[in-house]
Amino acid sequence: MKQIAIISLCLMSFALFVHGTTASGAPLQVISTFPADNAVSVSAATTVLSMTFDVPVDTSTFRFNGKDTPDGGLFWNVDSIKGVSFSPDHQTVYLSVMLSAGKAYFVCLLNAKSSTGSPLAHPVGYHFTTAASFPPFSVSGNISAGSTGLSPAYALVVLSRTPVGNGQEDFVAGTLADAGGTYSIPYVEDGTYYSVAAMDVNGDGQINPSNGDAVGFGPNVIVSGGNVTGVNITLQTFASPTYAQALDSLNAHAASFPAGCVLRSVQAYEIDPTGRAGWEFYFTMGTWQLSFQFRVESMGTNAVPMDSNNYQWIAPWRPITLLPTVAAVDSFLARAERNGGGAYRPVPMTWNGFDVMFQIGDLARGSYWDMISDPAQNYLGVSYWYGIQNQNQWITISQHRFLGAYADGTILGVTGVGENNRGAIPASFALHQNYPNPFNPATVISYDIPVAGAVSLRVFDVLGREVETLVSDMKQPGAYTVTWNAARYASGIYFCRLEAGRYVSTQKMMLVK
């Protein structure tokens, strides 16, 4: 069964601005775009795309992290997006882009809101090409709700040259269904494609089946010299597994695992109040110095090999010879939820503001080190994190960590950071270990600045090449948090380097895909 992680659709080849809202008032309207819909012979040297609205927009709904990778639902098939800016009256949104010659593009605005909170009337899409003409064919059909009970109106429908769900999609054409769920994807060239439809049901700016969003996989489509009709797709929703279900899947597949593999860590993300989440089991194979990750998620299971660099990172973790019982994990998560964790669920769980992360095993090597009295023991840990974004800077509003006993889930300790850390100035410079680590595709990096000054935070690969500048700015004293979304980078070891005055510190990070 195929699986879709958030980033699988976040890296779609289409520009989508996604942000849910509820408000009263006249709906927000798009009144013009550049290039215009169906424009041909657009110069490949074009560096700016734009959308103009009838009233000023809420600029916070167009989030961007300052690099090629978007935050909060910005999707594209332009070759690179370098930034987002606005006209002085906030009625026009500009994208700084790079385009290729002879390529067709599809841009779609699924949701946004005005400066007064009025939502977009309905999704809007447009096409343009840098070629003299568009590809000649179309693919059409109907989107149906199936058992979801959802309206298929304005569902996103796309075609990919490669299978969908492995993070390597190559989306080449797309459209929006009409109010009745009928769609026709124009400008398709000859080829074989995978078809998929998706809806951001909860309006959180992500397409994530684990959070209740709907996805439907259609049949493979072969376009050969003419239009293709009758490509019908049924939407589905998927529930994330519980720990008990994850264990059942693990046990069912264990016989197929390599002989001698050793379980080193268990992690879960986006845990809901009932304990459902996406689960990841990390294994090493010592004889070959290799490692792999076994994932159990809402849409199935997947074993993902990891390279030798990842092995060197995972191997020091103490082996997990006996997993905690279902009762212990369920009890721990329920206790954490009742004892303050549940109070930290004010927004949908996305990297736009909130996440709940769970870990089993050698937690002294991770972000719980300061809570652990006996590093020789395995523990349970869950972290509730809530923040806001200012440009590419994540600012922690609150964070609570719960440490639990491995045997029965008893809570052993709780730490937390209050609203904005008001009045708290760090005593010294510090670059903290990123969390989660290993990660896929995003991780949170925290650092402390005790005095005002110039600060840079950069990411390097194992060859010492700079791959990302996360911060390069003057900073006032305080505790800061940045999220690095590494969706476009290969698995492996990366180094985060903080420089502030004479202070220099580096942390090693592991990206696992």
3-state per-residue secondary structure call for 8-58: HHHCCECEEECCCCCCCCCCECEEEEECCCCECCCCCCCCEEEEEECCCEC
Q: What is the pLDDT along the chain (513 residues), one digit of tens a residue?
A: 333 333 333 333 344 443 333 344 689 999 999 999 999 999 999 999 999 999 999 887 775 544 444 444 456 677 777 778 899 999 999 988 889 999 999 988 877 888 888 888 888 889 999 999 999 999 999 999 998 889 999 999 999 998 876 556 788 999 999 999 999 999 999 999 999 998 878 766 567 776 678 999 999 999 999 999 999 999 998 888 999 999 999 999 999 998 889 999 999 988 888 899 989 999 998 666 788 999 998 878 888 888 777 777 788 889 999 999 999 999 999 999 988 788 777 544 444 467 788 999 999 877 787 788 898 999 999 988 765 555 445 555 566 889 999 999 999 988 864 333 333 567 788 898 888 888 888 888 888 888 777 889 999 988 888 898 888 877 777 778 888 888 888 888 999 999 988 888 999 998 887
Query: Phi then psi for 210, rounded to 5 degrees?
Result: -65, -25
The strand pair at 278-285 and 262-269 is best described as antiparallel
CA–CA distances in Å: residue 271 to residues 31, 336, 405: 40, 12, 19
Comparing CA positions, the residue from 207, 208, 156 lying closest to residue 185 is 156
**Ramachandran region, residue 427 (left: φ > 0; alpha: ψ -120 to 50; beta: rest):** alpha
Coil, strand or helix: which one is 364? helix
Q: In what order do the strands lie in the sheet with 214-223?
A: 171-176, 156-160, 191-199, 214-223
Residue type, 413: G
**Eight-class DSSP state of 190:** S
> Which residue segments constitute the domains of the chain, with CATH numbers given?
6-234 (2.60.40.1220), 243-417 (no CATH), 425-511 (2.60.40.1930)
Beta-bridge partners for 431? 447
Beta strands in 375-461 (DSSP E): 379-390, 393-405, 411-417, 430-431, 442-449, 453-461
Model-wide pTM > 0.75: no
Residues 6+ apart with CB under 8 A from 194: 159, 160, 161, 162, 163, 164, 217, 220, 221
Comparing CA positions, the residue from 335, 510, 485 lying closest to residue 433 is 510
Look up residue 442 and give its two tokens: 């995003």
How far apart are the C-alpha atoms of 435 and 195, rounded to whole Å? 35
Comparing CA positions, the residue from 50, 55, 56 lying closest to residue 17 is 50
**Eight-class DSSP state of 357:** E
How far apart are the C-alpha atoms of 53 and 33, rounded to whole Å? 9
Q: What is the pLDDT of residue 440?
A: 82
Q: In what order do the strands lie in the sheet with 15-17?
A: 15-17, 104-109, 124-129
Comparing CA positions, the residue from 380, 427, 424 lying closest to residue 401 is 380
**Are 446 and 480 contacting, i.e. CB atoms less than 8 angstroms apart?**
yes
Burial label, 66 (beta-carbon count in 10 A; 0-12, 13-18, 19+): middle
Look up residue 249 and give its two tokens: 């899947």
**Are 240 and 331 contacting, i.e. CB atoms less than 8 angstroms apart?**
no
Q: What is the pLDDT of residue 5?
A: 34
**Are 357 and 435 contacting, i.e. CB atoms less than 8 angstroms apart?**
yes
Task: Please state the length of the chain.
Answer: 513
How far apart are the C-alpha atoms of 477 and 424, rounded to whole Å? 9
**Are 201 and 212 contacting, i.e. CB atoms less than 8 angstroms apart?**
yes
